[in-house]
Structure 1
Amino acid sequence: MTAPWTASVSRQPRIRVFLDRLAQAPPKSLLLEGGTEAERLGLGLYWAARLSCHEAEPPCGVCRICRQVADDAFRDLVLVNGSEGAIAIDTVREIRAMLGDPPAGRGPRVIILAEAQALGDAAANALLKSLEEPRLGNVFVLLAPSREVLLPTLVSRSFVLTLGWPRAGEEDPEIQDWIAALVEFIQSGRGLWLEWTGRKGNVDVRLAGRVLRDVQRALVQAGYGAPLTDLARLLAGRLDVVAVRQAGVIVENAIESLDVGANPAVVLEWAAIRIWGLLHK
């Protein structure tokens, strides 16, 4: 059996090195941002197995504990996946209720909140209380596309590791055409963007999602002051830190709208107009 973290570790070797070092003194809250959703989840599971496996070189990937972590059947692993829907305050309360009990095994209890941007405001504030008053034997892992889409106080109480993005050579030319059209639109309000989104049947959910994920990547680069693409350079040059965070929320709301069945062309138009508004305040 191939462990679910194998591909993520292979694609993100730098993060594995950091995680192995951190395992000597695990932070109470770890935030993994960047990369892809699958890579973030894979590395979150790697972290859980790394802290729980008792073999000489953990995680071995084949012992009982590693297999249980891989199957989300390990007693000291709590996995809540925001990609499956909003993370409600009741879910966070259930997690908080178990924090006072000791872990079942020799390692810590690992609570993974995948796609943590799905936390509502009330749920995020409830989680914040747990991070402000950490209890022994519990570690949290927050997974998100970028720190900008999370409550800033959650980020400030977490140790942040940023996954590498796919190499430029792996980018889809079709998506890059859409991003180029977006760059022209948010600069000038003109170009092919509205023509393409207005063409019947030209935009499906998969295409819209890929475009929005690419915009997320550009926002992360802009937020770090290390832009690598034309869109990231434009955003970094025209938006301050607060506006970058606002743009991140716009994009995340757009992605959530796709998840609940909104018209993908309308979603792309809405997101572009909102970002245009930030650039031209």
Structure 2
Amino acid sequence: MISFDALAGNNALKNSLKHALNERFPQTVLLSGDDPAALKTLATVLAAGILCEGAGSHPCGNCLPCRKVEQGVHPDLMIVDEGEAELKVDLARQLKAENAIIPNDGERRVTVIHHAQNLNPMAQNALLKELEEPPAYAFFILTAEQPDSLLQTVRSRCTKFALEPSQAAVSDEEAASLLAPYLSAVAERREDRMMLSAMGLEKTPRRALSGVLGILQAAVRDAIFVSKALPQKPLQPALRKQTQALAGAVSMERLLAVYDFIDVLIDRVSRNAASAAVTCALTSDIYRICYAS
């Protein structure tokens, strides 16, 4: 039966995605990680969750759409997996044409593009408008082992979720205990406490640190939704108090800039940035983004 249990570890990420699936799931998602098999598993589970018509939590694993996804026969699910081959502009045009057609079975259509970093620049540019303003029924899931290889214009149009190997995963409780003091310090405009909290992350293993930064980014996204007064259950409910305070202290425009900057930090970590440099960025750079006049 198709479910999140098929993906080992990654508990914080899975809980975030479960909350999102049962509320307002983003129409364009970028999943990143260094395990292609795990990315495929997660993308399939998310596709089932989007197409699920069962009661309760999605994917239910029992309804007809879930079973069709599991069997690979759902007519409203298109999966692109060309391995390491270059993905060219003709593919982008085909995807646009496919998504111009209303769904066959239900109310939604899902397109999964594996190894999205192999989309050449022309193909990425051809997909930009589709990713930014898809039809109301259309959902895109991109997976990438090297997300920084994608154009920034593509990445900025996606809601990003970073996958961590199971041995490096962090629990919800661990992530909350690491990030709650930091988010509170940001909201209270206390740069000294931001530094102390950020220094607590220096002992986090590098792979786990990428995951924690991904959770931080999800919390910032929650704050953006609060700032916009959009009704949605938070992706990080354990940090609800801190994200609400952050939304009250920092403008939506600056929160969006923080969200984008965390992408830069995740990329730096993947390139073996020194822990002290990450601490400095979480302190001085984010303080400047939030409060510089």
Structure-2 residue corresponding to 1:90: 90
1:15 aligns with 2:55: no
Gaps of 5+ in 1: 170-215, 242-281
Alignment of 1:161-240 (within 5 A): 161-167=161-167, 223-224=264-265, 232-233=272-273
Deviation at 1:104, TM superposition (A): 1.6
Structure-1 residue corresponding to 2:61: 61
Task: Check whether the contact 1:29–1:157 (CA below 8 A) recurs between aligned residues.
Answer: yes
Letter in 2 for 1:110: V
How many residue pairs get matched?
A: 190
Deviation at 1:50, TM superposition (A): 0.6
Structure-2 residue corresponding to 1:118: 118
CA distance in 2, matches of 1:119, 1:226: 19
Deviation at 1:234, TM superposition (A): 5.1
Please report the TM-score for the alignment, with normalisation by the length of structure 2.
Answer: 0.56
CA distance in 1, matches of 2:82, 2:4: 19
- C-alpha change, 1:98 and 1:152, in structure 2 (3 Å) is same
CA distance in 2, matches of 1:129, 1:219: 33
CA distance in 2, matches of 1:88, 1:228: 30
Identity of aligned residues (%): 29
Deviation at 1:40, TM superposition (A): 1.2
Structure-2 residue corresponding to 1:44: 43
Task: Check whether the contact 1:82–1:113 (CA below 8 A) recurs between aligned residues.
Answer: no
- C-alpha change, 1:168 and 1:99, in structure 2 (3 Å) is closer
- C-alpha change, 1:161 and 1:168, in structure 2 (3 Å) is closer
Query: Higher Cα Rg: structure 1 or 2?
Result: 1
Please report the TM-score for the alignment, with normalisation by the length of structure 1.
Answer: 0.58
Q: Which moved more, 1:154-163 or 1:96-105?
A: 96-105
CA distance in 1, matches of 2:92, 2:46: 21
Question: Deviations along 1:128-153, whole A, 9 cap, x unmatched?
Answer: 12123321210111111243121111
- C-alpha change, 1:228 and 1:111, in structure 2 (3 Å) is closer
Deviation at 1:44, TM superposition (A): 0.9
CA distance in 2, matches of 1:72, 1:84: 22
- C-alpha change, 1:53 and 1:155, in structure 2 (3 Å) is same
Question: Deviations along 1:204-237, whole A, 9 cap, x unmatched?
Answer: xxxxxxxxxxxx97996895269879x7245996
Letter in 2 for 1:31: L
Task: Check whether the contact 2:164–2:207 (CA below 8 A) recurs between aligned residues.
Answer: no
Letter in 2 for 1:14: A
Deviation at 1:162, TM superposition (A): 1.2
CA distance in 1, matches of 2:39, 2:154: 17
Structure-1 residue corresponding to 2:228: none
Structure-2 residue corresponding to 1:275: none
- C-alpha change, 1:226 and 1:125, in structure 2 (3 Å) is closer
Letter in 1 for 2:10: Q
1:79 aligns with 2:79: yes
Deviation at 1:5, TM superposition (A): 5.6
- C-alpha change, 1:220 and 1:59, in structure 2 (3 Å) is closer
Task: Check whether the contact 1:227–1:236 (CA below 8 A) recurs between aligned residues.
Answer: no
Task: Check whether the contact 1:82–1:118 (CA below 8 A) recurs between aligned residues.
Answer: no
CA distance in 2, matches of 1:77, 1:161: 20
